[in-house]
Chains A and B, each alone.
Chain A
């Protein structure tokens, strides 16, 4: 029991050290001479661009459901105008950042952990070290930057599709005047909503890139460890994002 607690504490310290080194390497990334700048471009393309279709479908559908339900139910209670408040709370502040994080965990965190795990098993990481390349700077930092920027960008797309796209879609069933919709939306949208949303995206991006790279590189010898570490990356990613989401939301209302 005591050994297990000490091991967990050791792992937590190791993980914190890895996070610190990853953040420092990411901050220095553009100042240093780097080989293979393409890694960051590929990461942005895979995480931030190729996921746009999924994000668009989810956000348009979610926004459309809120608008249709709100327009039909809320006026019965004399609270029709609350639809805008609900849209901003759900799309911008709450579900936007967390759903984007879930999509990125499912698509990119799994891919990153798998790729790095296989690189460890086939000694490709050792080959990088023997060539004089620091794996944290070359493999982790670009994924850190790429994933974090991508989560922020996807959240932005989510808001655009969820607030604008869903409006266009609902015009087919439930027409709302254009000027009324956007005037009210901007009236209820506050700077703190935007800051909260952006802050969540950045923190989720850091959590996802950390859990994916850390667990990928924790693979030691066998390819059977790879799926185990991928599962750990996913579970830790989901859990930490939800906990961080709850904390930021609590701070928002203090």
Chain B
């Protein structure tokens, strides 16, 4: 099967006069994990959505295997959507569908001949895989934000995609759910899937990132292998890296500063 080659050339997206994405060019390496880093409001989500062909750019082009992603034939687009999935920051579950219906829907779109029973079994298996333990007949409004995230993850994985867009998948979920999702992300990476993720978890970034993209005010400051980007001497890049990647260390220092030598509170 043809590998998915994704790139963007001189892409800009505007909200009114202000660019949210500013003249960005990127090449995504198939089979790699690309982590997009940046502070809140830097344009990470918009970058992922534009790359995924969900938001059309005002300028520039997003290319999928050499073709403009917004000018694909219906068949090509359906094939791309079958082979890719998007996990949204706010889960974006369909409010008028139950948990089971949400997870089953991509199968109904891409595998219409699969029997209802097979689909149902697959839904239950994937929900179990992401650690969801509540009723599958609940509506999204009855779930906690962590559970919504788990369900959205199951929905994204159920078609076994080759390309995954993950928009801050660990935000707003408890450590148990995060554990399940971290394991899945590591497994997807070891299976050679292409992952493009906006992440904020320093430990996970260090474990999975092959490539880093640092975004600041909608522009890409640097894109390259993780080790190279970490060695950059650009002060702004160093500042962003230290803010995100050194969070854990800073947190540990904060904790230590309020403990006495014996580990008790000062």
Contact = CB atoms under 8 A, between A and B. Distances in A.
Interface of A: 33, 35-36, 118-119, 122-124, 126-133
A185 to B, nearest CB: 44
Contacts of A36: 108
Interface stretch (B78-86, B118-126, B187-195, B255-263): B78-86
* Majority secondary structure, A binding face: helix
Given A33-B112, A123-B92, A127-B92, A132 B78 contact: yes
28 contacts: A35-B108, A119-B95, A122-B90, A122-B95, A123-B90, A123-B92, A124-B94, A126-B49, A126-B54, A126-B88, A126-B92, A127-B88, A127-B92, A127-B93, A127-B94, A129-B53, A129-B81, A130-B81, A130-B84, A130-B85, A130-B86, A130-B165, A131-B105, A131-B106, A132-B78, A132-B80, A132-B82, A133-B109
* Majority secondary structure, B binding face: mixed
B88 A132 contact: no
Contacts, number: 53
Interface centre among B55, B85, B109 (most CB of A within 10 A): B109
A123 B52 CA distance: 14
B77 interface: yes
Interface in B120-178: 165
A132 B95 contact: no
Contacts of A33: 112
A118 B85 CA distance: 22
Given A126-B49, A126-B88, 20 more contacts: A33-B112, A35-B108, A35-B109, A122-B90, A122-B92, A123-B88, A123-B90, A124-B94, A124-B95, A126-B54, A126-B86, A127-B86, A127-B92, A127-B94, A129-B81, A130-B81, A131-B81, A131-B105, A132-B78, A132-B109
A118 B82 CA distance: 26
Nearest to B86: A130
Contacts of A129: 53-54, 81
Contacts of A122: 90, 92, 95
Nearest to A121: B90
A218 B108 CA distance: 28
B76 to A, nearest CB: 11
Nearest to B83: A132
Contacts of B110: 132
